């Protein structure tokens, strides 16, 4: 039971990560195409605020504050009772609201599969493609050292 709960939390976190990383435009486009319900009661926000980003001294030492970043958050409740949250970098309020609704819909066992296949999976594929392209472009600039042999034998 505890294992199942931990798996559910990890999956939900991955869904929230995908939504936070994606652009508002992509979410809206897929949302409309999928015809997902967008009615929900707004419990909080969408509102924009700041988080203070922390780094670590030397990369892995004690934490220190680097600077702030804008974050927009929203909390919604569906008619069926599920409460969804979103926190995402930037100031896109529509994205925050839709992402919170997506989080709530995902918690409804009847809708989870639809949210995953029609919204999350395409977003994930786009993000993975962009990451892979970035990695391959960077890899093309990798230095291949070779040794020059001088003289005979």
What residues line the site for other proteins (CB under 8 A)?
9-10, 12-13, 16-17, 20-21, 47-71, 73, 75, 85, 87-91, 131, 133-143, 145
The residue (of 13 and 29) whose beta carbon lies closer to other proteins is 13
CB of 105 to other proteins, least distance (A): 17
Q: In terms of CB distance, is 16 or 98 closer to other proteins?
A: 16
- Core vs surface per residue 77-105: b (16+ CB within 10 A) or e: bbeeebebbbbbeeebbebbbbbbbbbbb
Residue 27: CB minimum distance to other proteins, A: 13
Find the shortest distance in angstroms from Cβ 86 to other proteins: 8
Phi/psi of residue 69, nearest 5 degrees: -140, 145
- Give the tokens for residue 132: 């892979």
Residue of 97, 107, 125 whose CA lies nearest to 40: 97
Residues in a beta bridge with 76: 42, 84
Q: Give the nearest distance from C-beta 121 to other proteins in angstroms.
A: 17
Helix, strand or coil, per DSSP, at residue 62: coil
Nearer to other proteins, 71 or 153 (CB): 71
The nearer residue to other proteins, 113 or 131, going by C-beta atoms, is: 131
The two structure tokens encoding residue 101: 């609704």
3-state secondary structure of 61: coil
Choice between 33 and 130, CB closer to other proteins: 130
Residue 153 beta carbon to other proteins: minimum distance, rounded to whole angstroms: 25
């Amino acid at each position: 039971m505890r294992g199942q709960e931990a798996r559910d939390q990890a999956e939900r976190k991955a869904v929230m990560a995908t939504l936070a990383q994606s652009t508002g435009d992509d979410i809206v486009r897929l949302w409309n195409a999928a015809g997902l319900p967008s009615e929900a009661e707004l419990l909080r926000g969408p509102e924009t605020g700041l988080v203070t980003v922390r780094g670590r001294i030397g990369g892995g030492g004690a934490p220190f504050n680097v600077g702030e970043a804008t974050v927009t958050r929203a909390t919604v409740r569906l008619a069926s009772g599920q409460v969804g949250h979103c926190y995402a970098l930037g100031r896109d309020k529509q994205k925050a609201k839709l992402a919170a609704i997506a989080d709530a819909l995902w918690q409804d066992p009847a809708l989870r599969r639809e949210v995953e296949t029609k919204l999350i999976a395409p977003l994930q594929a786009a993000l993975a493609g962009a990451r892979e392209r970035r990695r391959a472009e960077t890899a093309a600039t990798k230095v291949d050292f070779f040794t020059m042999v001088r003289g005979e034998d």
